[in-house]
Each structure stands twice: as structure tokens, then as C-alpha cells.
Amino acid sequence: MVMKKLMLAICAFMAAGVMGCSNIKKAPAVSLKLDPQKVEWFKDAKFGMFIHWGLYSILEGTYNGHTMPDTTFAEGNSWYAEWIKPRLEVPDEYYNGLIREFNPVNYDPESWVSEACNAGMKYLVITAKHHEGFALWDSDVSDFDIAATPYQKDLIGPLVAACKKYGLKYGFYYSHWQDWEDPDGALPYWYPWRADEDFEQYWQRKSLPQVKELIQKYDPDLLWFDTWDGNTHITPERRDELIRLVRTYSDKCLINGRICYSNPGENIDFLEMHDNSYPKEMLSKPWQTPATMQNSWAYHSKDFNWKPATRMLRYLVSNTSMGGNYLLNVGPKADGTLPVPAVRRLREMGAWLGANGEAVYGANPSSLKVADEDVYLTEKTAGDEKILYVFLAKPKSTVTIPSVSLKDCFVLETGQGLELSSESGCTEIRIPNGVFKDNSIVVLKAYLQSEPK
């Protein structure tokens, strides 16, 4: 295997020398813009599962008696367990040696996918390679991959097969910039800046070829690249080179804005917010919030900061009302099992969506506004009728919808009819106390009266 990769690298190097550039640069010209119709599924889907899984999962946020966050280290003040290597100063030899321990014998991709489906999620995004540099598939251009573990078997292929079987869209997180194992990959900001000509080596030798591999081997529905504020090596030229590569080998794969967070350009397919960040208004493109269930993305056995399902549902509803998606993370354990608190929350969210999903999936933001931060609105069109959905995150006795007249208003889950009254062109909905039986979000459904012709 090592030999195979060495040979491939030599061939690529020789070809680049003979042709003066890599094969990737020779790809035929393609439009950098994807047909907007191909983003429609994403806009309708609203809710996806993010999965952070890699060698870091073995450490579970603790190394050598130190648990993150640990301020005795200069950069140790973070809960992000997938950052344990640089933050708790784990030596390279030790960290990269974890490859000899990674053996997820309980990995059952169908059970992951069925949990995602039962939670009401419509797509899934897994860290094919995070900043640590480790590939969850047998990569042709790197030996720091699953083939070098005791497990040996590809982890991505069976997950893709399970997604196809259950009808879930799937995508890959790929750390195209940070790579802490590659001698030329970018490092965290407190390390010396990688010289641009060195980074270019990594870019051509590993980053671009691995993205091409992921597309050619697995045909993903989306690619999730990762940069954030501040300086990166991702110039507009490299951003466009990567977009071109994706468009050359896939005519459907969506690209997120974090390919170059500070300058995503016009050709990405959706904007990606900062971690756990929720805009207060509509944005110019489809967008998504990547969100944690705990503080950490990767499994962290001492991070007990689990968010309640009701709070996470509120984030989902809030995003939906403003045209955004919610990509909620799960950090599996190194053995391949999902943490119990994550599963419980997924099932609670799925139960709520089972009753109220009609108001979420395929729904659009409403042009109507209610001046109450505990009320969210979405709209749908069904034939000639316009439907308004009103989400009540806190108990209320009345809600006034301005500038419209409504008819047939009822509680979506139970069908209980509600009284309406009109005044000065507004409609007041009266809600009996008994509607709020627990602390879950209550959804009302009403029809908008059409204007007289």
C-alpha cells in the first residue's frame, strides 16, 4: 500500500515536471457557477447531521492527565476536542501514532443514518479529513489514512451506501487548508506561518487530489470546506481553482462559503455561518449554521454541556424562518458508537418534527413580521392557497399578525381550532392556555385570505 502511494506520487511528480503543471490544472474549462436549481434540495432540507470523527476521538478531550480546556497550556483554553493535538501540545509522534489504535469495531453506518433519518435530518456531512490530516478512506495520495489502521476498511463507502439506501443526501467535510500531519499543510495561527511556496506543495500534492478522489470515489452532494476569519492561504485564485476542480468532476456537488470565509465570491452555493452563530435577518444566499450539541465537535467525555432538544429545535425554527439550515453535530466515540445523550436528543427532535415538520421542510420565510422574539413565521403555497405557520416558542394568549386576514387557524399537532378576530387589517389569534401542555414549541397553521379581485 505504501509502495502504491509512493509510485503514484513519483508518477505525478514526473508528469508535472514533463508537462510543467499538474493534471488538475489541465482540467477543461467549466463554469464556476452551479445551476441554482441544484441548490433547491438543500433549501428544502433545513436540517442535517454533522459528524466529527477521527483519531482525536480516541483521546476524548484528555491527554496525559490534562483535559480540555486547560489554561496551563498557552493555547489550551478550548473545548474543541478535535484540536487537542496543538492545544494540549501533544507530540507529533504520539498523536500520529494513534493511527495504530484506531479500530472502530462497532461502526454501523446504517444505525447512524437511521438515527439521522429518525431525527428528521435530510442530509449528513462527515469529516472525511479534519485538520489532523487523517483520511477516513483509503487515499491514493496519502498513507495517513484508514488503510494504515488496524481496522483497515474504508469508512466512507459504507456510510455513502447507507445514505443511498435511506435516501439521505451526503457530503464531506474536507480540511483543505489546515493539515497538521502534512509537512507543507497550514498550522494553527500560533505556529510559524507556512511559506506560500511550501503550502502550494501541499495544495497540489494532497489537498486538490484528495478532493478529486472524494468526488470520483463517492459522488457527494456537497463539500464542506473550512476556513474562518483572519489570514489563510486560500487566495481567490486557490478558491477558484478548487471550485473549478469540483465543478469539473461533479455537476451536482454544492460548495459552502467557508471555502474562503472572508471572501467566498459569487460561485459558492450556500453561505456557512460561524460555529453556533445565528443571523437575525435573511441573507443574500441560502445559508446554514453549523452547531454543536455540546461545546466540543469531536467526542469529549468530560464535556457535559449538552444543549436541551427544545433549545436546538428553536435554533432550527429560527433559521428556517430566515431561509437558513441547521447542521447539528454528533461526535461519535472512537469505537464507532454514538454517545447516549446525543441519541436521546436526536430522537426528541425527531418526535417534534414528526408532528410539526410540515411547517419546516420546504417552507419559506414569510414576508409578514410579528414584533415578538418568541414568534417565528414560515409560509407555503398549496395550489391557490397560501398557508402561514406560526411557531410559538413561549406560551401566549394572543398573537397578532399584521396586515393580513386569516381563516381556519388551528394547532398543527392536534387540529384544535382557534378563534380569530380582525381589526384594522390585522388578525388576532386567540390561544387557550391548555394548548401549552409542555415546554415544546407550538405550531399554528392558518390560511391567508386572498385579496378580493
Q: Interface with ligand FHN by CB under 6 A: which residues?
A: 80, 82-83, 226, 228, 275, 290, 297
Query: Does the N-terminal peptide bond of residue 69 adopt cis geometry, omega within 30 degrees of 0?
Result: yes
Give min distance, CB of 220 to ligand FHN, in A.
17
Cβ 369 to ligand FHN, closest distance in Å?
Answer: 30
**Grid cell at residue 63:** 491527554
Residue closer to ligand FHN by CB (options 182, 226) is 226
Backbone angles phi, psi at 400, to 5 degrees: -105, 125
User: Collapsing DSSP states into helix, strand and coil, what is residue 256?
Assistant: strand
The number of C-alpha atoms within 13 Å of 338 and in the hemisphere containing its C-beta is 23
Q: How far is CA 366 from CA 82, 87, 264, 448, in A?
A: 38, 44, 27, 12
DSSP 146: G
Nearest CB to ligand FHN, comparing residues 228 and 410: 228
**Across-strand partners of 1?**
none
Which residues on neighbouring strands pair with residue 430, listed in sequence order? 398, 419
Question: What are the beta bridge partners of residue 324?
Answer: 287
By beta-carbon proximity to ligand FHN, the closer residue of 294 and 440 is 294
* Closest chain position to ligand FHN (CB): 290
Identify which of 371, 372, 433, 441 has the alpha carbon closest to the alpha carbon of residue 397.
433
Nearer to ligand FHN, 296 or 440 (CB): 296
Per DSSP, helices labelled H in 264-367 are: 309-321, 340-356
- State the minimum distance, in angstroms, from the CB of residue 290 to ligand FHN: 4
Minimal distance in Å, beta carbon 83 to ligand FHN?
Answer: 6
Q: How far is the CB of 264 from ligand FHN (least distance, A)?
A: 14
At residue 202, what is the residue type? Answer: Y
C-beta of 129 vs 445, nearer to ligand FHN = 129
If the CB atoms of residues 257 and 290 are measured against ligand FHN, the closer one turns out to be 290
Least Å distance between CB 81 and ligand FHN? 9
